[in-house]
Each structure stands twice: as C-alpha cells, then as structure tokens.
Amino acid sequence: MGSLPIEKKKWIMNAFAMSSPGHVAAGLWRHPENRSQQYHNLKYWTDLAKILDEGKFHGLFIADMLGVYDVYKGPDNIDPVLPGAAQFPISDPFPAIAAMAAVTKSLSFGITSSTTYEHPFSLARRFSTLDHLTGGRVGWNIVTSYLENAARNFGLDTQVPHDTRYAKADEYLDVSYKLWEGSWRDDAVVEDFKSRQYTVPGRVRRINHQGEWFKSAGPHTVEPSPQRTPYIFQAGTSSAGKVFATKHAEAMFLPGMEPKVIKRGVEAIRTLANEVGRDPNGIKLIAGILIIVDETDAKAQAKYDEYLSYADDDGTLALFGGWYGVDISTWGDDEDFRFAPGFPGAVQGMLEAWSAMVPGGQSVKWTKARITKELALGGPHIKAIGSASTVADQLERIVDETGIDGFNISYAISPGNFQDIIKYLLPELRRRGLFWDDYAVPGGTARENYSADEKGPRVRDDHPASKYRWRAGEDIPQYALKEKSVPVLNDNS
C-alpha cells in the first residue's frame, strides 16, 4: 500500500464566556472596545451568538458561579471584586439562551448548572425545554459548586463535603437520565389526527426513583426532545471529579498551563474511561486558553499590553483567592510563592509549570506582582499571543504533544477577541486542515457537531444514559425490567 495523506483531526473551537461584566479579565469592562459589560442587554448576547455562528465556532460556553469571591482581604469581604467587576455581578446563564438560538442556526450552547442546590426534576425539565427550543443545541456543564458563599446563599451553614457532592451528583445524573431517556417511549408522541392521539397511552411512565439523595415520581413532564440527554460537559480535576467526569462527560475541560501537565490529564482520563468501559476517544478533551491574535506578532503583543493596562489588580487577586482559597493580601511583596510554606500545592505546581514554559523562567520569582500580572487576562490558562501563524504553530504544538481535541477560548474583550480569531486565526487553521469549513451537521444538534464521528443526536451506547433508554416497541424500558426482576423478600402486603 502506498502512503495516503493522513487527514488531520479537526479541532473543536469553543467560546468561553460568563453572564457578567468580566469573566477572566477583571477591570476590562472599562476598555472602550469591550462590550461584555453590556451582558445584561439581550443584544449583546444575540450579536455575540451571530458572530460565533457565522464564524462556525462549535459553541458558546457560559460559566457560572452561585456566589461571590470573598476570600481576598477577607474573610467574607465582598468589596475587592466590585470596582473591577471580577465575576460579579453575575446573572443566570439560562434565560438568554433561547434568544441566541432564535438568531443562529448551528451554534451550540453550553450552560453551567450545579447539581448541589436544585432538585434534578426541575433542572431536567429546564434542559429538556431548551433542547426543544434550540433544536437540540444545548449542553450541560455539570458543576458541583465549590464556593463557600454559594452554600450559604442556599441556606447551608457550610458546603457539602467535596466527595459527597460528587456522590450526590452521580445519583443526580441517574435521576436526570431516567427522566430524559426512560420516562417517554421513543415513539410515545405520534400527533396522529386519525386516532386523535397526541401521545399514546401506555407509552409514558413514572420513574419512581428512590435513592440515597433523591426521590422523584415522574413522569417527566416534557415530551422527548432532539437529544433527550443534553450534551454533557464537565471539568473535573480532583480524583472524585475525574471519576465522575470519565463516567458521564462527553466533553471535558482540562486545566493546565503547559503541554506536559495537560498531557498527564489526557492520559489519566483516557485510562479511566477505558476502565469504566467507555471508548476513550469518545470523550472530547478541550483546554482553556486565551488567544490574542492580529496581523503580526507585534500588533498582537501591543494589543495584549494595552488590555493589560485596564486590568484591576484587586479583582484579579480576588479571583485568585476564590479559586485557591488563599488570601494573598497577607503575604509579603517579595515572597516567592512557589516555595512559600503553607501555600497550596496546586498553586505551587501551577507556578512551577508556568515558569518552565518561559526560557529562563525558573529564575524569576513568582511574587504577588507577577501573579497579579500573569493571571490578569485569561486566568490560570494557556495564553497564545501573536500572528495567525504564530498562534497556529503554538496550538498545533499543544495538540500534537497532548492529544487534546480543541480549545475553550476566553477573552479579554468581547466580541472583539472572537472577531479577531475568526478574521485571522480560523482561515490559517483551515489552510492547515485543522478546522472545519462548515459544521459537521449544519442546523444539527450539539452532540452531532461536537462529536462529529457520532451517528445522530442521541447518546452513544457506551454512555451511562443509554441504559435508561425506552425504545419503541418495549413495554417498559430494559433498566426497569431489571429493577422489577429483583425479588422482593418478605413482602407480605
């Protein structure tokens, strides 16, 4: 056999935003070209969605927090986030979605929602409703919420312990899958004029879930939507988080500032996926990144430097405090945090990794001032700054070294940074065969476009949701048959 040209893997390109004046760029609300501080106007969202849809981004992904970062200069100090609008104020990511869907054709929407503070019955209902209204273009970014303030907003004295949150989340997903896949038979809704049946009796059933954390009778109130189960995203970095994610996620966000660290994550996930019986390549792995691109390297760098002049230091350190639980205000100005006793290992490792990326970077101390500057734009993620060719080279190197499937792209200013990517970077990626010319399924579902190797809008057979599926022709779903076959002992009623 002669050697055939190997077709390169096409990347996932995802826009990463938040319903807040600033996401990972505290203070940038003041930049004259930034529009993200108009997040409370619908037009900001519909304009952004149109730009991304025309640019053929896979999706718009909206992060969320159910509280405020109050560790820095704390404890319990709200004030430092206020001037820079550091992820605060922040509003509900759900309500704007349908308005964006109405003005776009193929763009998907990833919505962050927590399993910790809402009963699965209502969240499953909201996602099913949106899956209908968007024509199957929704994904759920599952979080369990790590903010102490969020717990207290919802009436708890403190957070549910971390591993318990994941155990609860796991059952939360089971309840949701039962509602989405197992409460309405695939052929339940017929809208048949002759038999006068909108839905056929006998083809809708209660789920009667009784678990350790949740009970729900059902039936699901929403008829089967295009995807049934929304496309599932997750970002799990802890052990419990990784196990949960490799079981449920169809796409995962990976942390890490340098390829070596990201690669370790990729390998850990592919191994775990294999262990739980899922096709390791069926889980799309996406790395967070900030991309500032322009005609030339110099112009891009000048842009970045200009953005940086708008950054709000207190806001940046407040975000840092929230992410790592450390109030950096009490530390000395000359302290090198890589070696500071009592400083979280995760942060030390991150700073080590970052240092390693810069030639000679290990000799430069990670002081408060340096952390402030490096995290100001894009947070603790990779930064790619330069011309299309420079950025494409860097991204290609990352993909080659790590095996990831694409990028989750944050902004310093929005939609400007996304427009630059569409103008400069995507044509370059297309020339290299690394980005699609059009959506895999124009007008299709999130699942069809993110996992372009899949057939149709339903979950794969190796995904845990599929075992709850109620297929046409079955009296009751297979999973329920199994539940029924468990003999009930001593049942004298």
- Residues 160-219 interacting with a copy of itself (rule: CB under 8 A): 189, 191, 193, 195-206, 214-219
Candidate ranges 29-37, 166-174, 415-423, 468-476; the one touching a copy of itself (CB under 8 A): 29-37
> Binding residue for a copy of itself (CB under 8 A) from 117, 280, 403, 432?
117
Candidate ranges 112-120, 165-173, 264-272, 331-339; the one touching a copy of itself (CB under 8 A): 112-120
For residues 352 and 337, give the distance between their C-alpha atoms in angstroms, rounded to a whole number.
10
Candidate ranges 25-33, 162-170, 260-268, 439-447; the one touching a copy of itself (CB under 8 A): 25-33
Judge if the upstream peptide bond of residue 219 is cis by omega within 30 degrees of 0.
Answer: yes
Question: Which residue number, 82 or 353, has a Cβ lying nearer to a copy of itself?
Answer: 82
Residues near 99 by Cβ (< 8 Å), separated by ≥ 6?
A: 42, 45, 46
What number of helices (H) and strands (E) belong to the chain?
Answer: 16, 13
> Binding residue for a copy of itself (CB under 8 A) from 13, 52, 222, 254?
222
**Pick from 63, 60, 19, 61: which is nearest to 40 by CA?**
19
Contact positions with a copy of itself (CB under 8 A) in 285-304: none
> Binding residue for a copy of itself (CB under 8 A) from 12, 96, 251, 398?
96
Task: Specify the amino acid at residue 390.
Answer: T
Residue 91 near a copy of itself by CB under 8 A: yes
Question: Which residue number, 198 or 339, has a Cβ lying nearer to a copy of itself?
Answer: 198
Distances (CA, A) of 83 to 196, 280, 370: 60, 44, 21
C-beta of 102: minimal distance to a copy of itself in Å?
A: 5
Question: Which residue number, 98 or 440, has a Cβ lying nearer to a copy of itself?
Answer: 98
The size of the chain, in residues, is: 493
Residue 19 near a copy of itself by CB under 8 A: yes
Question: Which residue number, 92 or 483, has a Cβ lying nearer to a copy of itself?
Answer: 92
**Pick from 13, 5, 4: which is nearest to 452 by CA?**
13
Contact positions with a copy of itself (CB under 8 A) in 35-74: 37, 40-42, 46, 65-68
Contact positions with a copy of itself (CB under 8 A) in 301-320: 312
Would you say 327 and 321 are in contact if contact means Cβ atoms under 8 Å apart?
yes
Residue 125 near a copy of itself by CB under 8 A: yes
Question: Which residue number, 27 or 464, has a Cβ lying nearer to a copy of itself?
Answer: 27
Residue 121 near a copy of itself by CB under 8 A: yes
SS3 262: helix
Angle between helices 345-357 and 259-275 (to 10 degrees): 120
Residue 95 near a copy of itself by CB under 8 A: yes
59-63 and 12-18 strand pairing: parallel
Would you say 319 and 379 are in contact if contact means Cβ atoms under 8 Å apart?
yes
C-beta of 168: minimal distance to a copy of itself in Å?
A: 13
Question: Which residue number, 94 or 407, has a Cβ lying nearer to a copy of itself?
Answer: 94
For residues 409 and 196, give the distance between their C-alpha atoms in angstroms, rounded to a whole number.
50
> Binding residue for a copy of itself (CB under 8 A) from 14, 112, 128, 451?
128
C-beta of 185: minimal distance to a copy of itself in Å?
A: 11
Residue 432: which region, alpha, beta or left (left: phi > 0; alpha: psi -120 to 50)? alpha
Contact positions with a copy of itself (CB under 8 A) in 129-148: 129-130, 132-134
Residue 155 near a copy of itself by CB under 8 A: yes
C-beta of 354: minimal distance to a copy of itself in Å?
A: 27
Would you say 311 and 376 are in contact if contact means Cβ atoms under 8 Å apart?
yes
**CA contacts within 13 A on the Cβ side of 461:** 2
Contact positions with a copy of itself (CB under 8 A) in 389-408: none
Dihedral of CA atoms 22, 352, 251, 103 in degrees, nearest 10, equals 20
Would you say 185 and 220 are in contact if contact means Cβ atoms under 8 Å apart?
no
Question: Which residue number, 59 or 67, has a Cβ lying nearer to a copy of itself?
Answer: 67
C-beta of 460: minimal distance to a copy of itself in Å?
A: 25
DSSP state, residue 467:
G
